[in-house]
Amino acid sequence: MVNLNTVLSDMVKAIVDDPAAVSVAESENNGELILELTVAPDDMGKVIGKHGRIAKALRMVMKAAAASVDRKVVVKIR
């Protein structure tokens, strides 16, 4: 089974300058898995990307990974 928390943190750690500051908090609401991503303030721009393209791509990959295990996922970037 795919650990969605690990998938998200591994993808983000490859993007940022400070991988030690990456953390993912997991909670559940109405059957949806909510992943709250926290990165260093200096890396926030890298995670969001121009016009939010990187953030959108991260969310798309996570939705595809969640669909493989029959879950719904919401990614929040903090």
Q: Provide the pLDDT for residue 2.
A: 86
- Residue 1 predicted with pLDDT over 90: no
| Long-range CB contacts (within 8 A, 24+) of 22-31 | 31/72
pTM: 0.94
Domain boundaries, the chain: 4-77
**C-alpha to C-alpha distance for 33 and 6, rounded to whole angstroms:** 13
At 10-68, the pLDDT tens digits run 999 999 999 999 999 999 999 999 999 999 999 999 999 999 999 999 999 999 999 99
Domain 4-77, what fold? GMP Synthetase; Chain A, domain 3 (3.30.300)
